[in-house]
Amino acid sequence: MTTDLDFAPLRTERLTLRPLRAEDAAELHRLINDWEVVRWLSRVPFPYPRELADDWIASTHRQLAEGSAWHLAIVGQDGDTEVLVGCVGLTREADSRRAELGYWVGRRFWGHGVAAEAAGRLARWGLAHLDLDRIFAHVLEENARSGAVLQRLGLKESGRAEAHFLARNGRLPVVCFEGGREDMTEFPPTAEPVVPKAEPAAGAKPMLLVAACALVDPDGRVLLARRPEGKPMAGLWEFPGGKLEAGETPEDALIRELREELGIDVSAACLAPFTFASHDAGRFHLLMPLYLCRRWEGTVTAREGQALAWVRPNKLSDYAMPPADKPLVALLRDFL
């Protein structure tokens, strides 16, 4: 269970996203008790009573502790003074791997890209840390500005619907948006495919060669690593490993990657070829040999901020994985 005291603030170039505090209530009320702000928000009344700010802030603490929603203050700096700009939130949908994204910004901060900066940061954090696969949101049909924010984040229009708007006392047409990791993150330049020396045939895709390792401990558990925020497919679990550098064999690459990622030393003799994955990744084709390893020197340590999990073979399928890793799970389960 997470409390507001446990939640580490999220930062962007200009902003901090942190749990709301009781002392934020007066300024929050001043910013949101504005028809030009509230008219676009479905769940906010107008006028906005001052005491509702206190009650709502207290409710955000309960939801944060329950792990059902993450409503955060958007805060900027004016010299040494902290300035409340607005709020942004993710609310987990019951019994699913989706969460709803919402945000509002005080009118005097409009036009500075604050909403996209804050909402994008929280959405990417959620996909990386909360066992989510999809982010969704809706905006009034007439709210082109907010629709543009969601499109800028990478969310795509998914349909039309109606939603009840408290301040307008009625149901109004909305545009729905949705997206996942593949929409909200770009494949980084450092992970460009390795192009074979031989010129590929016309129309052929470049090949990306990646080596992966299933580390197996004395209890027969397999190590999975969770891709950290900022990497493609952040939040998914995978077998440790990485891309081959120029001149490397798969064994060389694994020895290097396991030392860099986990702080352990592995000899080539302890890497046993097991199987491989061949996956069409769109812009390139991924080929990934998987090795088994039961012996190494040192203590497995997360050296790149990634979460680690030692998993029983029959539980591997419970973890969300990239498409290339999924076919390997059944083979490992049956072998181990």
pLDDT: which is higher, 230 or 126: 126
Contacts of 77 (CB under 8 A, 6+ apart): 83
**CATH number of domain containing 75:** 3.40.630.30
CB 86 within 8 A of CB 104: yes
* Whether pLDDT at 197 is above 50: no
* Whether pLDDT at 207 is above 60: yes
Report DSSP letters for 255-293, one per residue: HHHHHHHH--B--GGG-EEEEEEEEE-SSSEEEEEEEEE
Quick one: 105 and 52 in the same domain? yes
Quick one: 164 and 307 in the same domain? no
In a domain, 200, yes or no: no
Residue 210's pLDDT is 92
In a domain, 178, yes or no: yes
Torsion over CA of 7, 12, 14 and 15, rounded to 10 degrees? -30
Q: Report the mean per-residue pLDDT for the chain.
A: 89
Domain C-terminal end among 166, 183, 200: 183
Quick one: 224 and 139 in the same domain? no
Q: How far is CA 199 from CA 134, 195, 196, 205, in A?
A: 38, 8, 7, 11
**What confidence tens digit (pLDDT) does each residue in 46-91 have?**
999 999 999 999 999 999 999 999 999 999 988 888 999 999 999 9
Q: 334: pLDDT confidence band, cut at 50, 70 and 90? A: confident
Quick one: 115 and 226 in the same domain? no
CB 158 within 8 A of CB 167: no
Quick one: average pLDDT of 89-102?
Answer: 95
Q: Give SS3 for 174.
A: strand
Quick one: 171 and 222 in the same domain? no
Residue 298's pLDDT is 95
Quick one: 126 and 68 in the same domain? yes
In a domain, 286, yes or no: yes
In a domain, 308, yes or no: yes
Contacts of 31 (CB under 8 A, 6+ apart): 37, 84, 86, 106, 107
Quick one: average pLDDT of 191-204?
Answer: 46
In a domain, 194, yes or no: no
Domain C-terminal end among 150, 183, 216: 183
In a domain, 2, yes or no: no
Q: Across-strand partners of 62?
A: none
Quick one: 255 and 320 in the same domain? yes
For the entire predicted model, the pTM comes to: 0.75
**CATH number of domain containing 229:** 3.90.79.10
CB 320 within 8 A of CB 236: yes
Quick one: 147 and 221 in the same domain? no
Q: Which amino acid is at 32?
A: I
Quick one: average pLDDT of 124-153?
Answer: 93
Quick one: 297 and 170 in the same domain? no
Quick one: average pLDDT of 11-22?
Answer: 94
Quick one: 15 and 124 in the same domain? yes
Quick one: 154 and 19 in the same domain? yes
| Domain containing residue 137 | 10-183
Residue 185's pLDDT is 61
Residue 231's pLDDT is 80
Q: What percent of the chain is predicted at pLDDT more than 90?
A: 74
Q: Which of 45-54, 149-158, 231-240 has the lowest mean pLDDT?
A: 231-240
Domain C-terminal end among 135, 150, 183: 183
In a domain, 92, yes or no: yes
Angle at Cα 77 formed by Cα 73 and Cα 83, nearest 5°? 45
Quick one: average pLDDT of 269-287?
Answer: 89
Question: What's the rounded Cα separation, in Å, for the pair 225 and 12?
Answer: 25
Residue 183's pLDDT is 86
Q: Which amino acid is at 303?
A: R
Residue 286's pLDDT is 87
Contacts of 65 (CB under 8 A, 6+ apart): 1, 2, 3, 4
The total of structural domains in the chain comes to 2
Q: Which helix (H) or strand (E) holds 28?
A: helix 25-32
Quick one: 23 and 111 in the same domain? yes
In a domain, 45, yes or no: yes
Per-residue HEC secondary structure of 41-82 comes to: CCCCCCCCCHHHHHHHHHHHHHHHHHCCEEEEEEEEEECCEE
